[in-house]
Amino acid sequence: MFSRILVANRGEIAVRILRACGERGLRTAAVYSDADRAALHVRYADEAYRIGPPPARESYLNIPAIIAAAQASGADAVHPGYGFLAESAHFAEAVLAAGLAWIGPSPDAIRAMGDKVAARRTMIAAGVPVVPGTDVGLSDDEATSAAIAIGYPVLVKASAGGGGKGMRVVNTPAELPKALAAARREALNAFGDETIYLEKLISRARHIEIQILADSHGNCIHLGERECSIQRRHQKLIEESPSLALTPELRAEMGAVAVRAAQAVGYSNAGTVEFLLDRSGRFYFLEMNTRLQVEHPVTEMVTGIDIVKEQLAIASGRRLRWDQAEIAFKGHAIECRINAEDPYNNFLPQTGLITSLLEPTGPGVRLESSIYAGWEVSLFYDPMLAKLIVWGETRAEAILRMRRALAEYRIGGVHTTIPFHQQMMDNIRYQGAQFDTQFVDGPDGFRMSAAPSRDLARVAAIAAALVEHERGQEAVILGVPCGEQREQVSSWRQIGRTNALRTR
């Protein structure tokens, strides 16, 4: 096993990895931008190194700065987390060239699955079903002809994309030119590559992903599925495991296909194979995420396997500890992403100071967070603040537990998506698992109920002023001169005095 790990990331995932390393007895090093100087992951690590100013391109995407920090810390391995450079074959090669271990798949595997069209070709050769689509590098005229051949609706997708970036739904020929331009522009800004391709849009599909683990000795297993259909603009909002859409037979079939997909590119470490499942039970390869997923905790909750610790073990050359037959699933887990967004205002991103924080706890509740009271939510990074995960013996119990946990959760100072999740847990269609990827964005999908009054803060201030006025009146009754320093009196004594006055 390694002795010191550098975590090349920030936020809740950096804290998550640091904790796993701590449980393994490993020393840790963090990196931070100027905006994250007081961040929680900086406090958790044994050492921390500044890597640049707030913009991600000058800090968390700054490969030379991160490599220099790893070398200065004496780290012998780098964990990239997710996002930023986690799926950069160039970064993985730079880590290895610096004489450090890379906690992830090989650069070749990242490159093979990072190019979505190349991945499609590899999957077709491996006998994995894929969504009908085109090759890359289409001109506008070629895209127009291809869309007609595939049949509307279609998806315009960035070849180097992920997380919904550079993706547009096109329902009619008239929408295509604008969608092509927007997808290219967004892909260029996000990935530095404007190459796009087209795929057939599978309507009313469910988004199912399979978690896999593979070692460098040729062993590969899957850890079941995650249901990721509750999403907005291709960004996941709620994930759970298992999916009620899968039978045991379909789960085994999809798991076997996911393992075959990973083996087709010589994959090692943790990864996720994503599928679209249509209403007839047919499934299609969507993409493979060559990294740790945001929603990995739900798999950990139902399998009892710590995926991050397994990443560390695999990267150090160890064999998998299980055969497929030994993987068992217990209960049901749900994860809600808590974002700094206003769900009553079209999920507008929020910034500002977190003025107060009350976090949920109790049986079956897990919280992965990177915030604290006094933390400034920055405009430079992803708006996700935390992930709230619950486990129950049944899905119904998990929903009830999530409702309770959300009711306990209080984040003051910024609007968050907690109200969205509360309303979702109360939604009958969600409770009955009657949803698909259009459940939030679709014309007949979920809609937030009326927002509570925005005057609550003003009402609270008025109430506080009234309380203070009442205290002043009480001071007069008790004979305390105005402006005189009052002695410290216990709350019990104050209540006793008040009650005595009332009985006179």
Catalytic center residues: 291
Please enumerate in sequence order all residues whose Cβ is within 8 A of that of 66, keeping only pairs 6 or more positions apart, or say none.
6, 8, 31, 51, 60, 78, 85, 91
Question: Cβ(223)–Cβ(252) under 8 Å?
Answer: no
| Token couple for 300 | 């950990």
CA dist., res. 73 & res. 79, Å (int): 14
Helix (H) or strand (E) holding 347: none
CA dist., res. 11 & res. 329, Å (int): 29
How many CA atoms are closer than 13 Å to the CA of 470, on its beta-carbon side?
8
* SS3 (DSSP) at 152: coil
| Token couple for 258 | 């996911």
Q: One-letter amino acid identity for 207?
A: H
CA dist., res. 24 & res. 41, Å (int): 17
CA dist., res. 463 & res. 468, Å (int): 9
For tokens 């803060």, what's the residue? 457
Strand duo 206-214 + 269-277: pairing: antiparallel
Phi, psi of 43 (to 5 degrees): -70, -35
Handedness of CA 41, 42, 44, 48 (dihedral sign): positive
The three state secondary structure string of 87-126 is: CCHHHHHHHHHCCCEECCCCHHHHHHHHCHHHHHHHHHHC
* SS3 (DSSP) at 355: coil
CA dist., res. 201 & res. 136, Å (int): 17
CA dist., res. 60 & res. 319, Å (int): 31
CA dist., res. 388 & res. 335, Å (int): 6
Please enumerate in sequence order all residues whose Cβ is within 8 A of that of 338, keeping only pairs 6 or more positions apart, or say none.
369, 384, 385, 386, 387, 388, 409, 411, 416, 417, 418, 421
CA dist., res. 266 & res. 130, Å (int): 19
Q: What is the dihedral of CA 133, 137, 141, 145, to 10 degrees?
A: -20
CA distances from 449 to 407, 439, 472 (A): 17, 15, 41
